[in-house]
A and B are shown apart, each in its own frame.
Chain A
Amino acid sequence: MNRLILILPLVGFLALSGLLYSGIGKDPSVLPSALIDRPAPDFAVPELLEPTRTVGKADWLGKPYLLNVWASWCGACQIEHQVITDIAQSGVVPVYGLNWKDERSEALRWLDHFGNPYAAIAHDPENEVGIDFGVYGAPETFLIDAQGHVRFKHVGPLTEKILNEQIIPILNEVGGG
């Protein structure tokens, strides 16, 4: 009994070490989404390229898709642009854009310069859709299933690794693609 108590500090130390070790490499600025497995917020806003047309959740139901939050002022959006373009061209999953807190003219210039990979782009200059989605920075990418439920959210530039290791498995699970 006495010996057991002697090793208690060691056990405590190891437990604390384990806890701290599990935090290494985690980015504290990446927050989990409160929307996972819940219905995506409903929205209908002007399309960026054709402002007379509204686009929104109702138009995109029936098939899983990625909703990519981007802006022309967002440097990291340029980093992920090639990955977004590759996904859109491969046809693995449709990619829609949410142009967030951005000027229309700036956004159009950005698309002219880098290319437009999106099937359609919802324009949200006043952060109305963004707040409902809990967007706190760009880029962010949501995976929404055919029933309109949010299944996955990635904060920061999308990479091929995240596509292959996290998005594709969920797509297979929800029967999309």
Chain B
Amino acid sequence: MKRLILIIMLGLVALPTAAVELIEFDSPEQEQRFRELATELRCLVCQNQSLADSDAGLAKDLRDEVLRLMREGLSDEEIKTYLAARYGDFVLYRPPVKPATWALWFGPFVLLLIAVAALLYTIRRRSTAEELVADPDQKELDRRIEEEQP
């Protein structure tokens, strides 16, 4: 008996504490869609949480709004557009690709290209330097030739 009580109490401790309140969903598919959408949208008050995680009052309002729009038959894209038109792209965890976000989307690849170019340049320079080391006079000669060329 004691063991049973202990098991029940431990089970209570492990109750999920996610911020999603009790919502009556029309179908499991709708619930699944809602949960996926809520993790794609950012809570604006607590900026590092998604709508699904946040306990803030505004996040609850926005979750209700998302559900309402879903029931009206809007697609995921339409719901995101609806919220972005009001709260800006910030509400989307995946910002759209447009000139203002190019640096965000392509910046890392540009930096990678620069790094690879710098790496190749250094490797090539080192290997030529090593070849020349065998003949110090030749190296000096090369350096002078290079200096004379503009």
Contact = CB atoms under 8 A, between A and B. Distances in A.
Nearest to B44: A136
B85 A5 contact: no
Interface string B101-139: 000000000000000001001000000000000000000
A127 B58 contact: yes
Contact of A131 (B45, B62, B118): B62
Interface in A95-114: 101
Given A5-B121, A101-B57, A136-B58, A131 B86 contact: yes
B45 A34 contact: no
A136 B86 CA distance: 10
B84 A34 contact: yes
Given A28-B47, A31-B44, A134 B61 contact: no
B86 A137 contact: no
Nearest to B86: A134
Contacts of B61: 101, 126-127, 130-131
Interface string A28-50: 11011111000001000000000
A152 interface: no
B145 to A, nearest CB: 14
Contacts of A137: 44-45, 58
- Of B61, B86, B118, B121, the most chain A CB neighbours within 10 A belong to B86
A98 B69 CA distance: 24
Contacts, number: 40
A133 B85 CA distance: 9
A160 interface: no
A131 B85 CA distance: 10
B87 interface: yes
B88 A34 contact: yes
A131 B65 contact: yes
Contacts of A32: 88
Interface in B49-65: 57-58, 61-62, 65
Q: How large is the interface on A (under 10, 10 to 19, 20 to 34, 35 or more residues)?
A: 20 to 34
A88 to B, nearest CB: 27
A132 B88 contact: no
A125 to B, nearest CB: 11
Nearest to A28: B47
Interface in A1-54: 5, 8, 28-29, 31-35, 41
Contacts of B47: 28-29
Interface string B56-96: 01100110010000000000000000001111111000000
Given A101-B57, A127-B58, A127-B61, A133 B44 contact: no
Contacts of A5: 121
Contact of B86 (A8, A29, A133): A133
10 contacts: A29-B47, A31-B44, A31-B87, A32-B88, A34-B88, A127-B58, A132-B86, A134-B86, A134-B87, A134-B88
Interface of B: 44-45, 47, 57-58, 61-62, 65, 84-90, 118, 121
